[in-house]
Structure 1
Amino acid sequence: MKSTCVVLPLAFSFLLLSSPSSAHNKTHKSSSSSSSSSSLRSSYKGCFSNVYAFGDSYTDTGNAHFLGTLPSFTGSKNSPYSTNRLCDGRLVVDFLCDALALPPLPPYKATTTLNSTSGVNFALAGSTTLSRDFFANYKFGDFPLWKDVPLSIQTQIDWFNRFHTGIECKGKDADACRAKMKNTLFWIGEIGVSDYAINIGSSVSARYLTEKTVTNVCKLIQTLLDNGATYIVVQGLPPVGCFPLAVSACPVVQMSKAGCDVIVNSAIMIHNEILEKNLEKFQKRYPDRTIIYADFWNAYLTVLMNPPKFGFEDPFKACCGAGGGKYNFKSHSLCGSPGTSTCKDPSKYISWDGIHLTEAMYKQVADLFLNQGFCRPSFDQMVKNKSGI
């Protein structure tokens, strides 16, 4: 039986600012000018029966916590990690589930309490697209956020394959399993920031890095398609060069007028362009599926270029960190470690700890994705296609 999808308009408005990026700026139907606004925010209740999520710390709701790969200071009283998220609250995937009227996604590694009725979160904080062997061969020795070299995207592929065959489709015939996949939303949160962050200042070329990272993301997408995924949303990367992580170490000659690291952002832009082109190829090869790109780059810049319109006061400073000053960020004194402190009101900050975003920023990004046309095709159009409207 076809599920009933209810799109409920609720009073909610945001003024949108077009992104200043000419190299990666595409027209959004709902934000054609800087003065445009929207008075609608939609609830997509009943549109999908469950969600499977993938990605890194921007999407992980507890897998790294259960694996014990986060550093020992995560239990600090200054840290919000009791939620098992590297944030002061909810992530984009949490707001997505709210919009779908689904409960928060349980992390895959919560094996003793896993209730997969409404979906599973396979995302793993610190996850890279490149293999552990790659980092070992290049002898990268500095992983300040993790106890060891982070696990790669292959770990999430392995988890999904085990879950899909051993739990999700166990005892079901092929048709029943495919029917479940057709009512599932596959959300691939951004993944690749760790690769670029670790490679800052290394001898690895940006071109090689972008090609390898996108290739490995596409490997995940292909795995999902092979297993019957019908609706897939893939996030691009945000402008990491605007994060305290990058700008705090950025030479003046390498900084843009907006205050971002030009070199890091150039690599990110190339990554996003290659990724989106690959998604278009997937869509042509699988015309009966819906594969959309969530434009994290322009969503982030839309907020960054006009913070007051979105309720933010300090666009670059980390809420939780050490050192004070313009960025309040030290790579070896991350949020929760001795000597760090947390701002009084995280909702006024875009950056939580210099690497991750605040709940307030994730909320804005989620709204831009789901309701303001920052998905291509739009999220609303995907829902309409699924409902046969």
Structure 2
Amino acid sequence: MRPTKLFVFGDSYADTGNKNITEGRAWKFPYGISFPGRPTGRFSDGILLTDYIARFLMLKTPVTYHWSKFGSRYLNSRIGMNFAYGGTGVYNTSDNDPNMTDQINFFEQQIKDHLYSPADLNSSLALVTLSGNDYSNFQEKNPDGDILGFQFNLTNQLKADLKRIHDLGVKKVAVATLQPVGCLPTVTVSNDYKKCNDSIEMLVSFHNYYVTTAVADLNNQTNSNSSFVVLDLHNGFMSVLTNGTGFPKFEDPMKPCCMGVSSEYNCGDMDKNGTRLYTMCRNPREYFFWDSVHPTQAGWRAVYTTMLPILRKILFF
């Protein structure tokens, strides 16, 4: 049976418009320039992995939780809901938007309000993504802190969050591994976007090992081999970035399409006179990264294609 609803939890890698319109650069031009031609709150020039997975399931992109608060005409129990907020994590971050626990609380309230029935949840899929905001927040506040101890606690909390989503009645929960953070433009800018940071990648590998182990343990607890599944975002990114056979070839794959004119500015920044403080490539389809952290629509599509085998398995409960 194909999942009939998609629920989404996470950060900017999954947020399709929850961020307040007065905050965050995802509501500024040139975000959304490739699709639909204007900013929609997505941290890209177009659509995200969230949208591609919804299309794969033959669903509309789930309504964002932000818009659901504006009345019943925004609610649609047939397609699910997106609770992800850009800049957030498992724990609180400097963004002060709803963390993973808060997002699941919102979901639980929707269930208590009878927006979703047990039958709705039993035919649903949850997508959980994290792109590393917890780590950057921890290192900013604790530059000499125990990062491995923090990682252990973080992944244990994530495991508890995945279990809670499932316990609320969601049939299947898919969690993405951490992308190659050491290969993001914000990191590789120091070497002209040519080489990933091996130390950061080692930390990422530990995180993904813990996540994979947690999923295996959760499946053992539920006596199922498929209640929880891993979407290997890390391998998806690396397959494309290294120009693996069968994947699109992006020139300078770690160089972003849109970037600030200097390190103090970001894509979309403008001065008080309306002068752009960023530069943008001519064709985002030729770039894997849109800005210093997020893929382009073309980049997300390439990553999505690497996940088709596991997504096809998810189709059948």
Q: Which residue of 2 aligns with 1:181?
A: 121
Contact 1:200/1:264 (<8 A) preserved: no
Q: Deviations over 1:159-206 (max 9, x none)?
A: 11111211424xxxxxxx3322221111112x1511223345722222
Change (3 A) 1:213 1:58: same
Residues 282 and 296 (structure 1), Cα distance of their counterparts in 2 relative to 1, 3 Å cut:
same
Partner of 2:268: 336
Note the C-alpha offset of 1:245: 1.2
91, 97, 100: which one pairs with 1:153? Answer: 100
Q: Which runs of 5+ in 2 are unaligned?
A: 33-37, 271-276
Where structure 1 has 5 or more consecutive residues not aligned to the other structure, the ranges are 6-46, 133-142, 170-176, 324-328, 372-377
| Cα distance change, pair 307–317 in 1 and its aligned pair in 2 (3 A) | farther
1:78 aligned partner, one-letter code: P
Deviating 4+ runs (over 4 angstroms): none
Q: Deviations over 1:246-283 (max 9, x none)?
A: 22357x9xx9xx71111211111100000110110000
Q: 2:85, 2:97 within 8 Å by CA — same for their partners in 1?
A: no
Number of equivalenced pairs:
298
Q: Is 1:125 the counterpart of 2:82 in the alignment?
A: no
Superposed counterparts of 1:304-343, under 5 Å: 304-306=241-243, 309-323=247-261, 330=263, 332-338=264-270, 339-343=277-281
TM-score normalised over the length of structure 2: 0.86
- Which protein has the bigger strand share? 1
Three-state SS of the structure 2 residue aligned to 1:56 is coil
The separation in 1 between residues aligned to 2:28 and 2:312, in whole angstroms, is 41
> Of the two, which has the highest radius of gyration?
1
TM value normalised by structure 1? 0.71
2:29 & 2:83 partners in 1: Cα distance?
Answer: 27
C-alpha displacement at 1:105, in angstroms? Answer: 1.4
Matched, 1:99 2:21: no
Q: Shift of the alpha carbon at 1:84? A: 1.3
Q: Between the two proteins, what is the percent identity of the paired residues?
A: 22
1:300 aligns to what SS in structure 2? helix
Alignment-derived partner of residue 114 in structure 1: 74
Q: What is the correspondence of 1:30-109 to structure 2 with a 5 Å cutoff? A: 47-65=2-20, 68-70=22-24, 75-80=27-32, 82-109=39-66
Pair 78,341 (structure 1): closer, same or farther in 2 beyond 3 Å: farther
- 1:77 to 1:235, Cα distance in 2 relative to 1, 3 A: closer
Q: 298-307 or 271-280: which moved more? A: 298-307
Question: Partner amino acid for 1:159?
Answer: F
Residue deviations 1:112-153 (CA, integer Å, cap 9, x gap): 252222110011111122235xxxxxxxxxx6xxxx445422
The question of whether the paired residues in 1 share the 8 Å contact of 2:131 and 2:179 is answered with: no
Q: Which residue of 2 aligns with 1:300?
A: 237
